[in-house]
Structure 1
């Protein structure tokens, strides 16, 4: 059984410009998440809008708790049933009883040490995110008390992926690897364009005093001893080969940069992250952004000047050999 919140427009309102119905909870059945039964309504409290449903089973097969948000009043409350998911549900304390206001995204679970004790995370959407609550009487809307926040993640919100060092989808180690490769390629191409533009417009002069290398690998890398162009100048094949030759050389720099920077990045991240199990977690709101800013800045400082010098030197050799252009 899967469930979600939906609102409806009249059949004639195909552009959804009119007033929709109240939000209700719908459900369907699936065994493979590929095929689903026809959706049906599970909870309809019109005109009250209901969203963010989560269900907590007792384990006896017929008793359940369900937490939901009153989107109209911006409150979260709990109901219980002892006669199954489609049995009679009771809202302890009456129709206006709530656990907390100005919250959403309830996430409930049983305590793994104390039998009968329940916990619920409530997202203070206008504040600093999730706060934990607990009770030994979960069939109540008034018996929930705030839990100790020590070591609880900061700014954790419902629907948010927690940034981790190695595990997908939000892996900072993987992000660092991709950043190094992509930034090196983009920087290489940008410097190629900017240096050639500045040389042609006059404010920058090529570097012509450095002798050409004799090493065959360096000569290949520096676009020396080039083979005769097989594709017609200006053709798709010509530009495809040109782009491939540039990206290949930039990728070589990226591999070297990866070897120099990725290890220290991982080491620093293990020092500032929180280790749980076999991975490190980062719950500080700006940690990934600050990390990317520092990595990108350091990588830019290490690669941009050498790339600019590379193209200035290459242009100097091109002028000396009367090539008239460089880099292809």
Structure 2
């Protein structure tokens, strides 16, 4: 994904030449894949004054000016780099975090209204963080650990709050991993969530992804995994009893239910539900049975429905 890092910021020309101070500066983006050069380049890009920012935003809003959108995006790329650096502790590539933040920046530029009285830098922070948060939640683990609003809030605050508690520890136990009951109550109160939600998220974060059925090793033999500890449900007593009951219903029960039908109904049910030819196809169609008995296809369907209802009652009595 890092090789596509500059894709969100690519404009009709890699060199910007617009109104002052942009007209006096020619900035060429570095080659794809060089993250350090990219960061260095975006940090050298000029910032917009309030008047320039509002003018570009109005041109984008009123005239769909793509050059104005590019000017707004390019002047705020350093903001994305700064925000993305705050999330390096989650073990995801810095380039991918920047790329997702660039997507959020472009969404912010598209929705930015200069008449609201706020600068784009303040408005865009929410969108940048939202995209980065979504990327982290989807890619931090194979199994998504946070889905509700409360869980997302805990995911991005629990670790930093735990580090704060350990730094302030008076008992010298700075290596203790789990929250104490008092710390759980403080976290729940500060983040406005339930204490049990704090404990559940702490349990989720302390664990990791485990492959139940590992792939064979280099020697061709199967690796030993947690799936070996799972019970075989096929020999569980309840499952065995249910399987035996299904077998009886499928043989003796169906035979008993079919004996309750008249010859015509029995043949219609057999052709429609029980007959399988050598080529895998079923029995006769409604129209074929209707032609044989000299009635309409709808009448054959009605007979079939009545026969099935009668068989269900007979099966219920048999069971």
TM-score for the superposition, normalised by structure 2: 0.23
Instruction: Identify, as 1 or 2, the structure richer in helix.
Output: 2
Structure number having the greater strand percentage: 1
Q: Which structure has the bigger radius of gyration?
A: 2
Higher relative contact order (CA 8 A, sep 6+): 1
TM-score normalized by the length of structure 1: 0.22
